[in-house]
Amino acid sequence: MERTTIYGKVAGLDESATSGALAWKGIPFARAPVGELRWRAPVEPDGWSGVRPARDFGPACVQIGRLYGPGRNNRYDRSIGECLGQVTGSEDCLYLNIWAPATAEAPLPVIVFIHGGSNITGYTADPVYDGARLAVTGGAVVVTVNYRLGIFGFFDLPQKFDNASGNFALLDIVAALKFVNRNIAAFGGDPGNVTLMGQSAGAVNIWALLTSPLLTAEPALVQRALPISGSVAMTADLPQGCMGVLHPPALYSAQGAAVLRGALTRAGAATPQNSGDWLRAQSAESLLHVVLEELTPLGLATSGPIADGLVVAAAPLAAIRAGNWRRVPLLAGFTRDEGKLFPAMLALSPMLGGASGRLIDDATVFELLYCADAGRSAQTALDAWIPPQLLPAAAPVTGFNERMRQLDALLFHPNRDAMLDAVRAQQDQVWFYQFDWDEEAPPFDTIYGAAHGFDVPFLFGNFGPSVFATVINSSTNQAGRLALSNAMMRAVGAFARHGDPNHAALGTHWPAWPAMLHFDADDALAVISVSGAQS
């Protein structure tokens, strides 16, 4: 399956017999950001002669291993559990992947997906992000993009790097969009109809980029936006007591100084004349150990868009409210129980009980879920996961379910409302869904329910293998689960094609925000409904 890019030819995979799609994986969209290119804006890739194989994913970006990370082998396998807390991945990671329906007529709408992972972890080779089913069901060309993570993706120092922005991850995403603009026609896509879609950190990055002059320049790189479970509101933007998503730039200045200080201490070195050059000479592993061992206890291990006024508006939500953003049709989504993926966050506030809502660590979680038979509940009990003070889970005020609702009310709901209200004040083309599906076998219907990220397998039509496949999948819920997934993928496809997610399979009209469409299912059928003010 040969296609020609402006850099050379690539040969992909014909997967039409199994998925109905063609695939091209591991295509470079920028040179490896190593050596002198570390902490610099991405540079166009070198061209190649002959035909470049495009059958395997490019390496995951360097990161500290976490539950949602790549392990050693850039795929979902046991090494994920073995690599928790260890450095994995590579700095040579700026690759993208393309799926196209095998039989569809070009040009097709294009969906560019940005993965989640708190901007510190994640990888496009995660099987949940395989784009074949979404491409075929949604009738689109699907692209997934690696981008630099952690301190390699977002970094600031008192001594600025070439007086440039520290938002390297966002610059990577823009570089990928430019590659799409210049090359996607060769793969059957329409460069004039691109939907930028992302979940969690991917959605945060999309919101940030919508305020960037890089997306308002011509040629237009994005015509629609689909951010899921993300925001760029700061705490100061929200009602008192609520928690924003975006951190102030001062935190990143403190982080950069702490990285330099920690790296110098580990190396036994004096402060160099040019700290940027000195840090570029240090190994990625040594720098990430500084983050893990020294910055984490200080609360400085976070990562995300830096509101520098260059790549990201100095006040992103205010910029959107003022109309200074890339105005495009917008479809957003959140899950009903976002906070249930983050029960440790109950420790952040006395208002939430002041103690973590999870008893077991990620290594134990991975072992339980990885070793469980597919389609069956892991052999575990609710009280092995949830502290006794949060049980029974259904107890009012202090039960696990209520504490999770309180976390949502302090974090996820205010961020959702602030972003969507800002857009809706300027345009009618803004739609919202809430993912309500919670048909997991006990005790996971309580532990996770409709947790953050649990809509992603439905949006891609991929239910295994992945971290939560055992939690989500059962023979009992299969018919309803697949029907709901089909309806969600068709909604994404309709939005990508027309800028409106309404389609016949929904069985109901989807009105604009502040109304919300509820995606749910019973064991046999999709259950889709609308609530809230309708227009």
Q: What is the pLDDT of residues 402-420, one digit of tens each?
A: 999 999 999 999 999 999 9
Q: Are residues 515 and 376 in the same domain?
A: yes
Lowest-confidence region among 36-50, 106-120, 268-282, 375-389 = 375-389
Q: Quote the CA–CA distance of 325 and 320 in Å, as a whole number.
A: 6
Residue 17 three-state SS:
coil
Mean of the per-residue pLDDT values of the chain: 95
| Domain presence at residue 325 | no
What is the pLDDT, as a whole number, of residue 355? 97
CB burial string 111-135: b at 16+ within 10 A, e below: bbbbbbbbbbbbbbbbbbbbbbbbb
Of 212, 237, 262, the residue at which a domain comes to its end is 237
Q: Which residue in 256, 162, 244, 255 sits closest to 207, CA to CA?
A: 244
CATH code of 198's domain: 3.40.50.1820
CA angle 159, 165, 169 (to 5 degrees): 120
Q: Are residues 351 and 221 in the same domain?
A: no
Q: Of 237, 260, 291, at which residue does a domain stop?
A: 237
Q: And the tokens for 118?
A: 């708190």
Residues 377 and 513 grouped into a single domain: yes
Please state which of the ranges 299-308, 347-356, 372-381 shows the lowest mean pLDDT: 372-381
Range 342-371 average pLDDT: 95
> For 160-188, what is the mean pLDDT?
92
Dig out the tokens for 33 from the structure: 């950001």
In this prediction, residue 373 carries a pLDDT of: 63
- AA letter at 193: N
Given a cut of 60, whether residue 392 has pLDDT beyond it is yes
What's residue 535's pLDDT? 46
For residue 262, tell me if it sits in a domain: no
**Residue 277 domain-assigned (yes or no):** no
Return the percentage of the chain with pLDDT > 90, whole number: 92
pLDDT at 164 over 90: no
Q: How confident is the model at residue 379 (pLDDT cuts 50, 70, 90)?
A: confident
Q: In what order do the strands lie in the sheet with 21-28?
A: 13-15, 21-28, 95-101, 141-145, 108-114, 189-199, 224-228, 330-335, 430-435, 516-521, 526-531
Q: What are the pLDDT digits (tens) for 435-492? A: 999 999 999 999 999 999 999 999 999 998 999 999 999 999 999 999 999 999 999 9
Residue 163 scores a pLDDT above 70: no
Q: What is the pLDDT of residue 218?
A: 76
| Amino acid code (one letter) for 133 | R
pLDDT at site 106? 85
Per-residue confidence band for 372, with pLDDT thresholds at 50, 70 and 90:
confident
In-domain check, residue 96: yes
pLDDT, position 390: 98
Give tens-digit pLDDT for 279-321.
999 999 999 999 999 999 999 999 999 999 999 999 999 999 9
Q: Which domain holds residue 434?
A: 338-486+506-531
Amino acid letter, residue 15 = E
Report pLDDT digits (tens) over 76-89. Answer: 999 999 999 999 99
Q: Is residue 497 in a domain?
A: no
Please indicate, yes or no, if residue 319 is contained in any of the structural domains: no
User: Does 61 fall in a domain?
Assistant: yes
Same domain, 233 and 378: no
Final residue of a structural domain among 210, 237, 264: 237
pLDDT of residue 459: 98
Return the pLDDT at 534: 59
pLDDT tens digit sequence for 99-127: 999 998 889 999 999 999 999 999 999 99
Per-residue pLDDT, 442? 94
Closest CA to 115 of 22, 206, 244: 206
How many independent structural domains does the chain possess?
2
> Is the whole-model pTM more than 0.85?
yes
In a domain, 331, yes or no: no
Average of pLDDT values for 390-397? 97
Return the closest-CA partner of residue 139 out of 186, 193, 89, 201: 193
pLDDT tens by residue, 219-250: 899 999 999 999 999 999 999 999 999 999 99
